Amino acid sequence: MSKPRLVVFGVLLLIAALPILVTGCGTPSELTRSWKNPGYTGGPIERLAVFAILPDPRVRKLLEDTFVRSLPRDTRGTASNTLYETLEKVMIDEITARLKSESYDGVIVARLLSADERLEFVETGINYSAWVGNYGFYSYFSTVRAQVFSPGSVREGAGFRIDTRLYSLKADTLAWAGISTPMETSSMKEAVRDYSDLVIDELLDLKLLKK
């Protein structure tokens, strides 16, 4: 199984020139891909942590807080910015130990892609291409973080997409993955809010979250 294409387009320059709290008439958020792992049988996740792996702390907080606010009443959620000030250097073993000790059974991981990044989708067995990959949370988190915080990962752009994944910590497996349609940075707050609601509704329909 090929590893996912983890070319992460940073948002430091993307956001620096535009206020992240601007709302406007942007393109409505939609899912271009939604994939549920047919091998996952762990049932709905009841407590999860939300990690947005991004170099800009403002955008990280926006994504994480918005996803947590979108969760249904019976699903407890925590934004990782309330657990860790930065994700750049925190040890993965520390994250592992903390999530286990505090009884988290799932994790949402989000990252930004540029609007023009091409993704390959080739169905192969229970996994849905190199985009999805055969990763557990800790392995995926470590790989994406290394890409995000590496020199040269920051690139300017006029739009973005959100790659979002739901991991089961009990099963140590990817339960669901999805990618948004391209969105405009000038309406980021509105776009992220609409997209997070869309993702949570999808996860509820797939019975991956507890209502």
Domain ranges of the chain: 12-205
Contact by Cβ (8 Å): 147, 5 = no
The encoded tokens of residue 144 equal: 């994406």
**SS3 (DSSP) at 113:** strand
Helix axes 57-70 and 188-205, enclosed angle (nearest 10): 40
- Please give the Cα distance from 158 to 100 (Å, whole number): 39
pLDDT in tens, the chain (211 residues): 444 433 333 333 233 333 333 333 445 567 788 889 988 999 999 999 999 998 889 989 999 999 999 999 999 999 999 999 999 989 888 998 999 999 999 999 998 877 665 443 333 333 334 455 656 888 888 888 888 877 654 444 557 888 899 999 988 899 999 988 877 777 788 888 999 999 999 999 999 998 8
Nearest CA to 183 out of 109, 107, 117 is that of: 117
- Per-residue pLDDT, 176: 94
**Residue 90 corresponds to which amino acid?**
V
- The whole-number pLDDT of residue 145 equals 87
According to DSSP, residue 13 is labeled H
Q: Which residues pair with 124 in a beta bridge?
A: 127
- Does residue 204 sit in helix, strand or coil? helix
Domain 12-205 architecture:
2-Layer Sandwich (3.30)
> How far is residue 53 CA from its own chain's centroid?
8
| pTM given for the model | 0.78
80-98 tens-digit pLDDT: 999 999 999 898 889 989 9
Q: Give, for 93, the enclosing helix (H) or strand (E).
A: helix 92-101
pLDDT at residue 167, rounded to an integer: 94
